[in-house]
Amino acid sequence: MGIVGLPGMEVEGVVFSTTVRPPLSSSSPKKDLALGGAGVRGVERGGVFVKSTCMALYMEEAAVYDLEPKWKGKSAEELLASPNFFMDIVNCPFQKMSHMAMISTLDGEEFSGKVVDKLKAIMEASGTFSPQQSLLALHKFLEAFKGKMLTYGSAIFFAYSKAGLLIAITEDGSVPEQEDVMIEDKALTQALLDSIIGEHGVSPAAKRSVAKRLSEALSKA
């Protein structure tokens, strides 16, 4: 049993199915991706945890076989404690997709502005930031959310492929067949996934879920 054999999840009333077909342009191969894990995301305000979104990570079933030689036999706690485990997910060539479901309303431009600041910092720290190419990619990211209001029930899909980052936004939370925007920049693509599940990822709950589910899948690979 791999990732596909694991059940779907419900987080804060949002249902994440066992498998999903990501939004991809007609020029990209369409593969069903399996649910790697999911969890709530929020921020501390005045000592109170305010929930804003639910995050889920989907990946190819082949991910298990890429990760198996190094990580099979590790407990969920060991995987969670290892930044290298999550960076292996970021850097491995298999397709991945993150599904961000809104459980409160976010201003799209404010959201994308904060994300871009974090992505720029990640790329600069990793030495992958290119003043000309990266700034163009970051501008395209900002443009994808220009004038958008991300209301309750809507969703953002980030598909990570060899071609780059594909972005789709839906008001009803459904998975569209194709992306709205494609950004052909590998450094930006990896930085975005790093910002979600990397060492300082935005959803610790989603990271715990990924570690738990992949530990189980790897043990049976």
**% the chain with pLDDT above 70:** 96
User: What residues have CB less than 8 Å from 102, skipping those under 6 apart?
Assistant: 52, 53, 150, 151, 152, 153, 154, 155, 173
Domains identified in the chain and CATH numbers: 3-219 (3.50.70.10)
Please give the pLDDT value at position 28: 57
**% the chain with pLDDT above 90:** 76
User: What residues have CB less than 8 Å from 217, skipping those under 6 apart?
Assistant: 1, 2, 3, 5, 6, 64
Place of tokens 């342009």: 25
**Please, which pLDDT band fits residue 26 given cuts at 50, 70 and 90?**
low
| CA 39 to chain CA mean position, Å | 11
Please give the pLDDT value at position 25: 65
Model confidence pLDDT, tens digit, residues 69-82: 999 999 999 999 99
Statement: residue 21 has pLDDT above 60: yes
User: What residues have CB less than 8 Å from 118, skipping those under 6 apart?
Assistant: 195
**Rounded average pLDDT over 124-147:** 96
Rounded CA-CA distance 24/112 in Å is 21
Please give the pLDDT value at position 161: 85
